[in-house]
Structure 1
Amino acid sequence: MVLSRRNPLKALLPKKNNACISPHLLSLLNNFETSLTASIAELVPKDGDYITVSWMIQAMHSLCETHQSISTLMTTDVDLRPVSEMEESMYADISSKLLELCDAFTSELARLNRGNMLLKLAFSDPEDVSLSHLDCWRQHMASKNPKIENSGEVLSSLVEDMDRSHHHGLYKKVNKKNTKEYEEEKVLMRALYGVKVKTLYIFSVFAAAFSGSSKNILFINIPKEVEDEDEEDDQDEVPWEQAFMELQNMIMTTFLSKRFVVIKDVVAVESGVEMVYAVVQEGSVPNSLMFEPLIQSVMELSERLDLVSKETSCLFNTVIAARDELFERLRTKYEDELAESN
């Protein structure tokens, strides 16, 4: 899945217009993008090991922090004008899809943990492991989650919505350049672009890992375009681009080399259970060297999946809070306009 090739950075703070942006706003933007760069770089594992539940915890925690930071920038650092009905409608559409994906991920994490509960039941008596319990676990793990099956379609529509809203934000007020409003909007739009790219990509990796299909993974192009044909060095750049491309290329290389997507911790448990199943099916009792490490792995996997779910809930709540803030600003705008008309 490829994100739109149109360069959304073309109209965002080109070098020849940077002089029009106040030092305060440029400082806010630089600090935000520096933090974003560091957060993306931290998601590139040193050993290139994808996808582990530990990485998923880190990635979702990082997303939650990024969304909290952009919320602070929108509501505290930058004195934004009241939103319009169109902006409110666009953000409502986009955020609803983000929440839908968060819900899908949470439901899949719960499904995986239900499988772990079945294993804990099956392993309650090591000397009497029941094949019927293991068969129940097998059937459960083979089941499909409709919400995850639909995640690719939601991602595609999210790409379209975000691209449309970004384009609207860039070009709706071209006649008001060099105003304070123009400065604030362009700074915010550029910051939001980075948040969108990071969010979309990590969500696509989660969707691919949960569905077991790399077709859900986005490939996001961040092209450089020359603003002035007579000035070859006058190009738009974002400081987080290099870190993001390193992350994206490493994940893509790993997935393509293995031709499918897996969550390593889950696969390790599944492999261990199948070994136990084969032993029990033969009428033997699993030895402690096989059984005890497997039980420990199941316990650790449950704890880590709970942490992913916790971080996903954090992101869900952060998006909800941002929606509430946006709607409150819109309500205040209407009340002010009504008061003025009276």
Structure 2
Amino acid sequence: MSRPQEPGRPFFPFVNPFKILTPKGSILSPGLLALLNNFELTLTDRLKKLIPEDNNDVLSLSWMKLAMELLCQTHIDIKCLITELELPVSKWDEKWIDVYLDISVKLLDLCIAFSSELTRLSQSHLLLQCFLRNLESNSPELYVRTRSSLESWRQHASLKNPRVENCRSILDDLVKSLDLPKVKNSAKGKVLMRAMYAVKVTTIYVCSVFAAAFSGSAKNLLDLDVPNTLVWAGAFSDVQTTINEEIRNIFSQERVSVVKELDVVDANVKKLYPMIQDVTVTIEKEAISNSVSDLRRAAEKLSEGLDHLAKEVDGFFKIILGGRDALLCNLRSDDAVTESKMGNVEEQSPRRL
């Protein structure tokens, strides 16, 4: 369950998240400080890896795969941190649980949207495979038939995915979730909330990059402000500034897609298209053969990149789903224990779904 949002709240509903995370006078033990510090330093190192040596690699499928790997690793880290904190679900504040469940549903929705777009792009690769077979036949008649097919591929590649188009509203709701529940008299709870804040900021930002890339719209790209007192804040700011600047530069260009490998395929298609426009013109077979080879290599690289990224998105989906299922299982167990102590033998449904 999610808490009802107040009307008219600003885009960034928090005043100072760091003040919420570490209230005045709070003191953490050396052990808790070590756990938190290790988590934040690890996140910092991972964020630094998202700044590519060559800005042209931004929004390549390999870079997007790296970004999704970061999310998977970071969500595994928060799961390990919860275990190390020895903070059982029975001691979680109900607001923490409600927020977690609400966020997890939204992240699952984003994963489904991204997976649907990756599937759609993979289907376009199958179309290319058919076209390439015709082109490799060296038959002028098939060239004419393939010409309209190549134009169909370009139209298919530039289509808008309704699921991706809906990502912005989900991202806006996730931004509102950065206003964390207050933590009362729990040092472990404060550590958990601070770590969860880091995970949420990182996750929301990376998902906004994916939404922007797949929608072809800069409106999905977020600029998040984080307190500069946080260990990982500098690294996050560097990543966000570098990546957002390059992405907006990419959007300023006329391209069928901002995803690098897909744009390379489109460039090869545009190069090949004039060569097969008119069978009455003498066609240089060597030139066509070279262009077809270039297109095939670009198409194979696109297909491979899509497959690898799809696996990472699926892995992230399973991590989120697994964490959600584990929490619900613990809640049911807690309810069963409570009912047993109360001597209630009637079967009851879980408190939360």
Asked if TM exceeds 0.5, the reply is: yes
Is 1:152 matched up with 2:152?
no
> Is the CA contact 2:167–2:211 (under 8 Å) kept in the aligned structure 1?
yes
Asked whether the equivalents of residues 29 and 187 of structure 1 are also in contact (C-alpha less than 8 Å), the reply is: yes
**Where does residue 96 of structure 1 map in the other structure?**
105
| Conservation of the 8 A alpha-carbon contact between 2:89 and 2:330 | no
The structure 1 residue matched to 2:210, chosen from 181, 206, 214, is 206
Q: Deviation string for 1:254-304 (max 9, x for gaps)?
A: 233344481111111111112112211133455232221210110111011
The counterpart of 1:39, out of the listed 46, 49, 56, is 46
Amino acid at match of 2:124: G
Aligned counterpart in structure 2 of residue 78 of structure 1, from 64, 86, 92? 86
Contact kept in structure 2, 1:12 and 1:189, CA below 8 Å: yes
| Residue aligning to 1:52 | 60
Q: Any residues of structure 2 matched to 1:214-233 within 5 Å, and which?
A: 214-224=218-228
- 1:229-308 matches, cutoff 5 A: 237-260=229-252, 262-283=258-279, 284=283, 287-308=288-309
Structure 1 equivalent of residue 6 of structure 2: none
Is 1:187 equivalent to 2:179 in the alignment? no
Matched, 1:23 2:30: yes
> For the structure 1 residues 307 and 131, does the alpha-carbon distance in structure 2 shift closer, same or farther, using more than 3 Å as the test?
same
1:230 alignment partner in structure 2: none
Picking from 117, 124, 127, the partner of 1:115 is 124
SS of equivalent to 1:223? coil
Which is worse superposed, 99-108 or 131-140? 131-140
Give the distance between the partners of 1:81 and 1:303, measured in 2 at CA. Answer: 41
1:197 aligned residue (186, 191, 201): 201
- State whether residues 36 and 191 of structure 2, in contact with CA within 8 Å, keep that contact through their aligned partners in structure 1: yes
Aligned mates of 1:211, 1:91 — CA distance in 2:
27
Change (3 A) 1:141 1:298: same
Deviation at residue 76 of structure 1 after TM alignment:
4.3
Taking structure 2 as the reference length, the TM-score comes to 0.84
Cα 1:143–1:11 change in 2 (3 A) is closer
Tell me how far apart the structure 2 counterparts of residues 313 and 3 of structure 1 sit (CA, whole Å).
30
Q: Which residue of structure 2 aligns with residue 138 of structure 1?
A: 154
- Structure 1 residue identity aligned to 2:17: P
Letter in structure 1 aligned against 2:240 = Q
In structure 1, the gaps of 5 or more residues are 225-236
Alignment size in residue pairs: 316
**Mapped contact 1:118–1:136 kept (Cα < 8 A):** no
Task: Report the AA paired with residue 72 of structure 2.
Answer: C
CA shift in 2, pair 1:109/1:81, >3 Å: closer
Q: By how many angstroms is 1:57 displaced?
A: 0.7
Deviation at residue 78 of structure 1 after TM alignment: 3.3
Q: How many angstroms apart in 1 are the aligned matches of 2:204 and 2:109?
A: 13
State the AA in 2 paired with 1:321: G
Specify whether residues 324 and 22 from structure 1 end up closer, same or farther in structure 2 by C-alpha distance, changes over 3 A only: same
- RMSD between aligned residues: 2.0
> Normalising to structure 1: TM-score of the pair?
0.86
Indicate conservation of the 8 Å contact 1:54/1:304, yes or no: yes
Moved more, 281-290 or 145-154: 281-290
What is the distance in 1 between the residues matched to 2:301 and 2:247?
Answer: 25
Identity of aligned residues (%): 38
Give the superposition deviation at 1:144: 1.7
Q: Is the 8 Å Cα contact of residues 109 and 309 (structure 1) preserved in structure 2? A: yes
How far residue 89 of structure 1 moved from its aligned partner, in angstroms, is 3.0
How far residue 249 of structure 1 moved from its aligned partner, in angstroms, is: 0.5
Q: CA deviation at 1:5?
A: 5.0
Q: Compare relative contact order (CA 8 Å, sep 6+) and give the higher one, 1 or 2.
A: 1
What one-letter code is carried by the residue in structure 2 that aligns with 1:296? Answer: R
